[in-house]
């Protein structure tokens, strides 16, 4: 490993972009002596160092596993094009940052799956590590390949390449997994298949695709998904942290050498969201709401600041506005960090009657822009998606922000939502004009409004999982409508790449037959598909042609409610009856109240529900 480090530092790093992302040795990183280690695991993030090191989940698992004396946890990220070329040219295997150990020499490699467009990077990292891509082609000596993250609930498209998916929250269950693995590792003559079976039977949160058979009807729809061995659970239940206040959090996160996307401290103040937006997979799969106390958040923030020196703290949640102690938290954060000139940042804010109070709460931070997510511009469409917001609350909050010194308002919208009309689309432009003009009312000049528009992608485990997705042609038509309506120099519009949304839509509800499409796309050079400059839709089209699979089968057809869906054997706690009920309510434009403050809708995700299954 020292030989690899020396060679890479001498022969490769001087000739690649941002070499600091490939050398490790960062402040608070951990390197362990092999003599004391029973299990080695590499956390693999299938995107660049700048993105991966901004992801709090990786920092949490890294710190959690390295607290174990018997475990060495190291990191690896997808190398950029120039580094990949150099590694292949010099025949250097992909290595970990901490010790330059080749990935092939680890016991376990754990991929973080955050986005469908990272699939080709997973294959590329395995290939660079000289590990056979498909599970069934690997030798007994190859590492166990596991994966977690949001896509572990919809893993079928990449199931050929992963031995075990870890479903749900990892903080409490991953140490148990390591303990079980360590015990099995000591068992003589135990095959990898036997180890996988033992791990799955011991823990109900693990999904091993090789232990399940999928059959299809003549029309291509799934007929059945069932275990091929006895005692393998027919449904895998996702793990859920019940007490966020007691969940592990790293007080000494790694400080990157190079600039990352989010160069700051990230504190999760609340996990889950029960607003019930019918398009939102995270809001459905992360139920119920769990909060951290103000004291706990203050202590975590203070410790992290002391150990890092970062000048920004981001308070994270799916809906930060719903944190019940927000006023007290912001007052105490301001008192603790104002003199240190530490910025306190929020993610996008939910529009509600309390929005008018938030700008003053944020009065201690740098006022770069207030980010709001109306999602839909008309009341009718908001009822469809269960977004219980009003323009009056939106306008009152924006006016208060302008008064407090904000000059930019950022708005997020989705297009292509079920039942959407041209009128709904045109209203996005009208709303943008109104938001800009509000600043003229309070400050005498028009405000800057930045609009980001993404295409609605129907997601699994949501009430809209049965809906068709709009076509590429319709997406482009919507873009023309909006751009023709907006001619204001203070309003900027950014559209997410529509072709990538189409692919995301395919893989978000795809089955394991798509694994061959991913393989062909990777073989044809697809990498970093989430990056606009490197996304090549034509190569993906060719990959579909090579496999004979029809894109429209996954995109444009409405699923039957009794259809066996590719994720039906994976549970986040929600029951199907609840999703169907919410789907029906959407077409009736009927709101479902937030169960955090209202009655329980019996969704199945928490102990209040009679359908609750403890994870």
CA nearest to 310, candidates 358, 363, 265 = 265
| Count of C-beta atoms within a 10 Å radius of residue 138 | 18
Q: Which H/E stretch holds residue 454?
A: strand 448-455
How much of the chain exceeds pLDDT 90, in percent? 85
Find residue 212's DSSP bridge partners: 227
Q: At 598, is the pLDDT very low, low, confident or very high (cuts 50, 70, 90)? A: confident
Angle at 82 between CA 78 and CA 86, to 5 degrees: 95
CA angle 536, 479, 276 (to 5 degrees): 90
Evaluate if residue 567 carries a pLDDT over 60.
Answer: yes
Ranges of H-type helices in 338-471: 358-361, 379-385, 391-404, 422-443
User: HSE on the CB side for 135, CA within 13 Å?
Assistant: 21
In sequence order, the 6+-apart residues with CB closer than 8 A to the CB of 202 are 180
The DSSP code sequence of 21-66 is: GGS---BT-----GGG-SEEEEEEESS-HHHHTT-HHHHHHHHHHH
pLDDT band for position 351 (cuts 50, 70, 90): confident
Q: What angle do CA 247, 251, 256 make, to 5 degrees?
A: 120
Per-residue pLDDT tens digits for 267-319 = 999 999 999 999 999 999 999 999 999 999 999 999 999 999 999 999 999 98
pLDDT band at 356 (very low <50, low <70, confident <90, very high): confident
- How many CA atoms does the CB half-sphere of 579 hold within 13 Å? 25
Q: Which domains, and CATH codes, for the chain?
A: 2-235 (3.40.50.2300)
Give Cα 177 distance to the centre of its chain.
22
> Residue holding tokens 């058979």?
213
Contact between residue 250 and residue 29 where contact means Cβ atoms under 8 Å apart:
no
Determine the Cα–Cα distance for residues 403 and 397; give it in Å rounded to an integer. 10
The length of the chain is: 615
Segment 202-222 mean pLDDT: 97
For residue 353, what pLDDT is reported?
66
Is residue 345 very low, low, confident or very high in pLDDT (cuts 50, 70, 90)?
confident
Question: In this predicted model, what pLDDT tens digit does every residue of 487-502 receive, in sequence order?
Answer: 999 999 999 999 999 9
Averaged pLDDT for residues 211-215:
98
Q: Please, are residues 120 and 94 in contact by the beta-carbon 8 Å criterion?
A: no
- Here the tokens at position 46 are 């299938």
Residue 144 CA to residue 165 CA, distance in Å, equals 11
Does residue 288 have a cis peptide bond before it, meaning omega lies within 30 degrees of 0?
yes
Distance, CA of 534 to chain centre: 20
Summarised one tens digit per residue, pLDDT across range 462-474 is: 999 999 999 999 9
What pLDDT does 414 receive?
97
Q: Structure pTM?
A: 0.96
Q: What is the pLDDT of residue 612?
A: 63
In the block, tokens 């590492």 appear at 143
* Contact predicate 28/308, CB 8 Å: yes
Rounded to 5 degrees, φ, ψ at 392 are -60, -45
Q: Which residue has the tokens 């400059």?
A: 533
Q: According to the model, what pLDDT value does residue 611 have? A: 63
Question: Is the CB of residue 509 less than 8 Å from the CB of residue 565?
Answer: yes
Where residue 320 falls (left for φ over 0; alpha for ψ -120 to 50; beta otherwise) is alpha
Mean of the pLDDT values across residues 557-584?
96
- In sequence order, what DSSP letters do the residues of 524-568 get, joined into one string? TT---TTSGGG--HHHHHHHHHHHT--HHHHHTSPPPTTS--TTT
Element (H, E) at 296: helix 294-308
Provide Rg for the chain, Cα atoms: 24
Check if the beta carbon of residue 182 is closer than 8 Å to that of residue 39. Answer: yes
Taking only the tens place, the pLDDT of each residue in 394-442 is 999 899 889 888 889 999 999 999 999 999 999 999 999 999 999 999 9
Write out the two tokens for 169.
Answer: 């929250």
Q: Which of 456, 471, 470 is nearest to 280 (CA)?
A: 456
CB 240 within 8 A of CB 190: no
What does DSSP say about strands 448-455 and 491-495: parallel, antiparallel, or unpaired? Answer: parallel
Q: Are 77 and 49 in contact (CB under 8 A)?
A: yes
Q: What is the pLDDT of residue 103?
A: 98
Report the pLDDT value the prediction gives residue 223, as an integer from 0 to 100.
98
Instruction: Note every long-range contact of 552-561, with CB atoms under 8 Å and residues 24 or more positions apart, other chains counting.
Output: 553/220, 554/505, 554/506, 554/509, 554/510, 554/514, 555/468, 555/469, 555/471, 555/502, 555/505, 555/506, 556/468, 556/469, 556/471, 557/468, 558/466, 558/467, 558/468, 559/465, 559/466, 559/467, 560/466, 561/466
Question: Is the pLDDT score of 527 beyond 60?
Answer: yes
- Yes or no: say if 280 and 286 are a contact pair by the CB < 8 Å rule: no
> What are the DSSP E strand ranges found in 121-260?
144-148, 164-166, 206-207, 212-216, 222-227, 236-237
Q: What is the C-alpha separation between 211 and 598, in angstroms, rounded?
A: 41
Strands (DSSP E) contained in 286-348 are 290-291, 312-316, 343-345
The pairing of strands 270-271 and 343-345 is unpaired
Residue 15 has pLDDT above 60, yes or no: yes
Residues 166, 181: Cα–Cα separation, whole Å:
14
Q: What's the confidence (pLDDT) of residue 363?
A: 55
């Amino acid at each position: 490993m020292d030989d690899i480090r020396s060679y890479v530092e001498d022969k490769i790093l001087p000739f690649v972009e941002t070499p600091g992302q490939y050398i490790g040795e960062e402040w608070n990183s951990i390197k362990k002596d092999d003599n004391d280690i029973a299990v080695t695991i590499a956390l693999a993030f299938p995107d660049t160092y700048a993105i991966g090191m901004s992801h709090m989940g990786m920092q949490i698992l890294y710190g959690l596993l390295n607290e174990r004396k018997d475990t060495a946890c190291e990191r690896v990220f997808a190398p950029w094009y120039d580094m990949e070329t150099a590694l292949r040219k010099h025949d250097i295997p992909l290595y970990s940052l901490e010790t330059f150990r080749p990935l092939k020499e680890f016991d376990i490699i754990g991929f973080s799956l955050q986005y469908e467009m990272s699939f080709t990077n997973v294959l590329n990292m395995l290939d660079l590590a000289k590990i056979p891509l498909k599970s069934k082609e690997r030798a007994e000596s190859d590492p166990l390949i596991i994966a977690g993250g949001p896509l572990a609930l919809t893993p079928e498209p990449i199931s050929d390449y992963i031995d075990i998916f870890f479903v749900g929250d990892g903080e409490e269950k991953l140490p148990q997994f390591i303990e079980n693995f360590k015990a099995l590792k000591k068992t003589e003559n135990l095959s990898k298949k036997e180890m996988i079976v033992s791990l799955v039977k011991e823990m109900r949160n693990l999904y091993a695709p090789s232990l399940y058979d999928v059959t299809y009807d003549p029309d291509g729809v799934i007929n059945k998904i069932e275990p091929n061995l006895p005692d393998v659970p027919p449904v895998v239940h996702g793990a859920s942290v019940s007490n966020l206040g007691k969940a592990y959090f790293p007080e000494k996160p790694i400080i990157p050498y190079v600039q990352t996307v989010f160069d700051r401290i990230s504190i999760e103040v609340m996990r889950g969201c029960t607003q019930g937006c019918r398009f939102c997979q995270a809001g459905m799969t992360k139920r119920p709401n769990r909060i951290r106390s103000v004291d706990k958040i203050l202590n975590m923030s203070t410790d992290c600041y002391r150990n890092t020196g970062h000048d920004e703290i981001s308070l994270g949640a799916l809906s930060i506005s719903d944190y019940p102690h927000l006023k007290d938290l912001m007052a105490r954060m301001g008192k603790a960090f104002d003199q240190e000139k530490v910025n306190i940042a929020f993610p996008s804010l939910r529009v509600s009657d309390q929005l008018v109070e938030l700008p003053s709460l944020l009065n201690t931070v740098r006022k770069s822009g207030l980010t709001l997510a109306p999602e839909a511009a008309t009341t009718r469409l908001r009822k469809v998606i269960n977004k219980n917001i009003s323009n009056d609350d939106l306008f009152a909050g924006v006016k208060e922000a302008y008064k407090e010194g904000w000059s930019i308002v950022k708005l997020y919208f989705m297009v292509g939502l079920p039942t959407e009309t041209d009128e709904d689309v045109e209203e996005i432009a009208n709303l943008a004009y109104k938001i800009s003009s509000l600043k003229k009312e309070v400050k005498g000049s028009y405000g800057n409004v930045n609009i980001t528009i993404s295409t609605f992608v129907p997601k699994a485990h949501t009430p809209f999982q049965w809906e068709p997705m709009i076509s590429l042609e319709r997406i482009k038509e919507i873009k023309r409508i909006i751009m023709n309506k907006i001619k204001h120099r203070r309003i900027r519009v950014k559209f997410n790449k529509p072709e990538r949304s189409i692919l995301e839509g395919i893989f978000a509800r795809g089955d394991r037959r798509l694994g061959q499409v991913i393989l062909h796309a990777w073989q044809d050079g697809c990498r970093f598909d989430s990056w606009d400059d490197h996304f090549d839709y034509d190569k993906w089209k060719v990959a579909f042609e090579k496999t004979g699979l029809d894109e429209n089968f996954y995109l444009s057809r409405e699923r039957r409610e009794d259809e066996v869906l590719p994720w039906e054997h994976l549970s986040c706690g929600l029951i199907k009856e609840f999703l169907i009920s919410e789907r029906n309510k959407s077409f009736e434009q009927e709101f479902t109240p937030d169960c955090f403050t209202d009655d329980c809708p019996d969704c199945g995700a928490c102990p209040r529900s009679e359908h609750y299954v403890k994870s």
